[in-house]
Amino acid sequence: MKRFIATAASILVAASLFAQTKLVVGATPNPHAEMLNLIKDDLKSQGIDLEVKEFSDYVIPNEAVESGEIDANFFQHIPYLESFNTERKFHLVNAGGIHVEPFALYSSTNAKKKISSVKDLKKGAVIAIPNDPTNEGRALLLLQSAGIITLKKSAGLTATVQDIEKNGNPLKLKFREVEAATLPLILKDVNAAVINGNYALQAGLSAAKDGILVEGSSSPYVNVVAVKAGRENDEAIKALIAALQSEKIREWIKATYPNGDVVAVF
């Protein structure tokens, strides 16, 4: 009887050792999903089975976290998260900041439309920018930093083309507001486009090498892991953040993006 009890106890202990907590995290492919895949084994050794679910847009992964379909997502910066919460009355919170992907203005891939510098922009040139509130504002602020346009003083992070001063567009530039994911695809059809870092990387573009205007290193647009409010203190989420803020990820970022296309913030 004692032997049976001892055997049963050892089985329970063994089962608890191999029990895994499932954690599903949504992410855009580069570099977010890449980072998550790098830490799978690290989390597995802590009893966490990480499943990475890739998304190609910025809306569905937030809806999936809000509905509980997935546990967290990793693709967005803080201003976008806050704007999304306000617009959709969602309850997403920042569980931890990981990196910054500098925004950049890229020239057309069409030889007839291509320019090598912002100084080469001609009257009536067409520039494509993201159409979501925070990324559109971010793009316009980038253009303003180079003196290409002037925004109204009241315009903030959610500025739109309607916030350009009456005489603040001397070149009478035309703006095409499109979904962020499609910007690399239409680059050939415009003179230039301001493209989000992850989509630029996916398209083989480097802010350092290909950008004709690049966001400064003091960017407030830190990419974070987002969870539904109340889950930021879950042990599995804490372990996820710790793994992403590890020296392993820091070194991987340095080795993979030596030109600063991705910059660790931890």
Name residue, tokens 């959709």: 88
CA 257 to chain centre: 15
pLDDT tier at 1, thresholds 50, 70, 90: low
pLDDT higher than threshold 80 for residue 219: no
Segment 19-26 shows an average pLDDT of 92
Which amino acid belongs to residue 34? E
The confidence score (pLDDT) of residue 20 equals 86
Query: 55 and 33 in contact (C-beta within 8 Å)?
Result: no
Q: pLDDT tens, 87-132?
A: 999 999 999 999 999 999 999 999 999 999 999 999 999 999 999 9
The one-character DSSP state at 203 is T
Tell me the backbone φ, ψ of residue 18, rounded to 5 degrees.
-95, 0
Structure confidence at residue 138 (pLDDT): 95
Which of left, alpha, beta for 204 (phi over 0: left; psi -120 to 50: alpha)?
left
**Residue that is written with structure tokens 């203005």 in the block:** 105
Could you tell me if 151 and 138 are in contact, meaning their C-beta atoms sit under 8 angstroms apart? no
If you average pLDDT over residues 75-82, what whole number do you get?
Answer: 95
Query: Are the CB atoms for 97 and 223 separated by under 8 Å?
Result: yes
| Side-chain half-sphere exposure of 24, counting CA atoms within 13 A | 10
Residue 55: Cβ within 10 Å count:
20
Which pLDDT score, from 0 to 100, does residue 217 have?
62
Instruction: Provide the pLDDT for residue 142.
Output: 95
Q: Rounded to an integer, what distance in angstroms lies between the CA atom of residue 2 and that of residue 8?
A: 10
Q: How confident is the model at residue 8 (pLDDT cuts 50, 70, 90)?
A: very low
What tokens does 23 get? 């954690």
DSSP 147: T
pLDDT, position 19:
67
Name the pLDDT band for 157 (thresholds 50, 70, 90): confident
Between 13 and 45, the higher pLDDT residue = 45
**How many percent of the chain have pLDDT more than 90?**
87
* Mean confidence (pLDDT) of the chain: 92
Contact predicate 226/72, CB 8 Å: yes
Average pLDDT estimate for 156-181: 96
The mean pLDDT of 44-68, rounded to a whole number, is: 97
